[in-house]
Structure 1
Amino acid sequence: MAKPNIRQVEAFNAVMKAGSVTKAAEGLFVSQPAVSKLLHAFEVACDLPLFTRTKGRVVPTPEARQLFVETSKLEQGLTRVHEAARAIRELQRGEISIVAFPAMSMRLIPRKVGELLCDRPDVALSLFTRTSRSVENSMITRAADFGISLVPTSNPALHCEPFTSVSMICALRRDHPMARQAAISLEMIAEERLVALGRDDLSYPIIDEAFQRAGLAMRPAAEVQMADAACCMVASGCGVAIVPSLVSFEAGYPEVVFRPLTEPIAMTTWLLTSTYQELSQLALELMDEIRGAVEELEAGLHGTLSRDRASDSRFAGPVHP
């Protein structure tokens, strides 16, 4: 015996609710004979008399009314499936997990992703903060859909590609004399107390190399582990710091201002995804939102420096890469 199919159940429910085959056919946008055929097939599949037919009318049997209780639930379930598919298609429903290094995950990602998801209550987000060297491990264990790190990987289980470029900038107190400058040179910083990110930080050797290219010595007065800690020390008047541009994104330090460097120092961020699992459309949208926010932040910094160079003869000479 053949099992009932969805079209038969749909026709049965339509007749039960409409009270006639004619009205049911109108509601389903099909012909009356088509509905009659589906009803007959449904009765055969159920092996139950579901309607009595008198004078061109169909009257549900008691068995049909009992069965309608169950078929109504099925129809509601199909409606929920349809709505779920629509929500997923329109990126209104789903789960997304991200792992990123602190400067990226502490402020920029929460703000931009929060804006994107504030009107999407059915989207569940997990955001993990890890050091760049630990992002790879989180991705290998599939703790996240994608990761953003300052360290590339050659692990065959992961796909790695450049994500964005992040500039290093100068953080200084708002009342510092150098705060009046549109951009800060390493020569100027060399004369100040420098609060540096620790030697284990990936930016340390890059910044040290930039000082050496400029013929200067990098002599930190203090070393800290996190860029936020460096900014707190700057806010207290301890000195100036060189931090990733990401720290300046809606920074919570009213005493601190940020200025680009005249000698650009940049680090590449890397996108890590699974080699074996495709990203959802929701993950791709969030990824693009994060990338766009970083690029906008960087464009603002470079725009400030470019305008200053164009209007000040001090920047007429070459700039060290």
Structure 2
Amino acid sequence: MITLRQIEVIRAVMVTGTIAGAARLLNVSAPGISRLMKYTEDTLGFRLFIRRHGRYDPTPEARDVFDLVDTVYRKVGDLQTAIDRMKRGETKELSLGSVPSIANVMVPRAIERLRRRYPQLRIDINILKVEDAVDYLLLRRGEVVAMSYRFDHPIVTFEPLARGRLICVVPEGHEFAGFPSVTAEQIVRHPLVGIDPNDPFGGIMARIFARRGLTYDTTIRARFGSTVCSLVAAGLGIAVIDQFTVAHDRVPGIRCIEIDEDTGFETYAAHRNDGPLSTYAEDFVSMLRDEMRAVTDPAIAE
């Protein structure tokens, strides 16, 4: 059976008319071309070229196969072009979702890295409520969703991303602003801007106070962490929020303070388990995990 390399060499000799020219075209040695041509003719059982005045003229048999050889060569070239375009992401689109807390800072940083690797990749990002994430995956609207909690599902797999924690955010100039940490008892003395206790982070916050037998007053409730932070910056209260929303000091007008309680939580990349992720989705998850772990563990960032 004739190989693609033999097809490439036959075409190069046909195009250039000499062994030396074919060698230059293919960036290989001339003796190597000569040996492969002899082997090819022996394999085929007929001569492809006749040497006249230093040139290699194709035999009638070679002319008969040249069109086929050239067609195969062009198809291989088309295949390589398609592969190169896929490497750049030029012909593909990645659809992904994220809960707001991870989408605020972490997802854009991961996407920036992904775009550097695949500069032509089209990307569709959807900000999802927790309760919408499963339908997003099951209906194949996207490949992967960054989640703030997990649950059992027969079709959805949850891969760990990073373990985060909740922190207290206060306006600049607040009495807590210079504190390294605060207790649950200190927090409940101030009006709270909060999120729904049914939200994963809202549930963690509620348990902080429940463990201490404390009651708290949520004077303003907002759905998304970015909104909560803006309300705090406006001086409308203090808040307990996840560290990813405020990572890299992306929210002006607030100060972040540690809480003297166990406020840890896990995050996940959710995707269907009945088929493989695309290379782009796998790389996104890996990059997102790196970005999130760099926030939770400063040693990784260094």
1:129 to 119, 127, 130: 127
Superposed displacement of residue 21, structure 1: 4.0
* 2:96 alignment counterpart: 98
1:11-26 paired onto structure 2 within 5 Å? 11-21=9-19, 24=22
1:157 to 139, 155, 158: 155
Q: 8 Å contact 1:148–1:270 — kept in the other structure?
A: yes
Matched to 1:163, the amino acid is L
Q: 8 Å contact 1:52–1:61 — kept in the other structure?
A: yes
Matched to 1:139, the amino acid is L
TM-score by length of 2: 0.80
Superposed displacement of residue 70, structure 1: 7.7
2:168 to 150, 167, 170: 170
Matched to 1:292, the amino acid is D
C-alpha spacing 1:205/1:119, structure 2 compared with 1 (3 Å): closer
Gaps of 5+ in 1: 302-321
Superposed displacement of residue 41, structure 1: 7.1
Superposed displacement of residue 190, structure 1: 0.7
* 1:38 alignment counterpart: 40
* 1:231 alignment counterpart: 229
C-alpha spacing 1:271/1:67, structure 2 compared with 1 (3 Å): same
Q: 8 Å contact 2:193–2:237 — kept in the other structure?
A: yes
| C-alpha separation in 2, matches of 1:53 and 1:278 | 54
Gaps of 5+ in 2: none
C-alpha spacing 1:249/1:77, structure 2 compared with 1 (3 Å): farther
> SS state of the match for residue 97, structure 1?
strand
1:81 to 79, 82, 85: 79
* 1:247 alignment counterpart: 245
C-alpha spacing 1:256/1:65, structure 2 compared with 1 (3 Å): farther
> SS state of the match for residue 134, structure 1?
helix
Number of residue equivalences = 293
| C-alpha separation in 2, matches of 1:110 and 1:12 | 50
| C-alpha separation in 2, matches of 1:25 and 1:112 | 45
Deviations 1:265-321 (A, max 9, x none): 1222233222122234443332222112222212359xxxxxxxxxxxxxxxxxxxx
> SS state of the match for residue 182, structure 2?
coil
Matched, 1:297 2:295: yes
| C-alpha separation in 1, matches of 2:181 and 2:66 | 75
| C-alpha separation in 1, matches of 2:237 and 2:55 | 91
Superposed displacement of residue 181, structure 1: 0.2
1:192-231 paired onto structure 2 within 5 Å? 192-231=190-229
| C-alpha separation in 2, matches of 1:118 and 1:22 | 40
Matched to 2:256, the amino acid is F
| C-alpha separation in 2, matches of 1:279 and 1:7 | 33
Superposed displacement of residue 244, structure 1: 1.1
| C-alpha separation in 2, matches of 1:42 and 1:153 | 63
C-alpha spacing 1:120/1:162, structure 2 compared with 1 (3 Å): closer
* 2:264 alignment counterpart: 266
Deviations 1:14-69 (A, max 9, x none): 1023322465368555352531453687797xxxx975654674324899789868
| C-alpha separation in 1, matches of 2:210 and 2:283 | 41
| C-alpha separation in 2, matches of 1:151 and 1:144 | 18
C-alpha spacing 1:64/1:275, structure 2 compared with 1 (3 Å): same
Matched to 2:105, the amino acid is R
| C-alpha separation in 2, matches of 1:31 and 1:203 | 68
Identity of matched residues, %: 20
Matched to 1:183, the amino acid is S
C-alpha spacing 1:299/1:55, structure 2 compared with 1 (3 Å): closer
Matched to 2:225, the amino acid is A
Q: 8 Å contact 2:109–2:291 — kept in the other structure?
A: no
C-alpha spacing 1:124/1:67, structure 2 compared with 1 (3 Å): farther
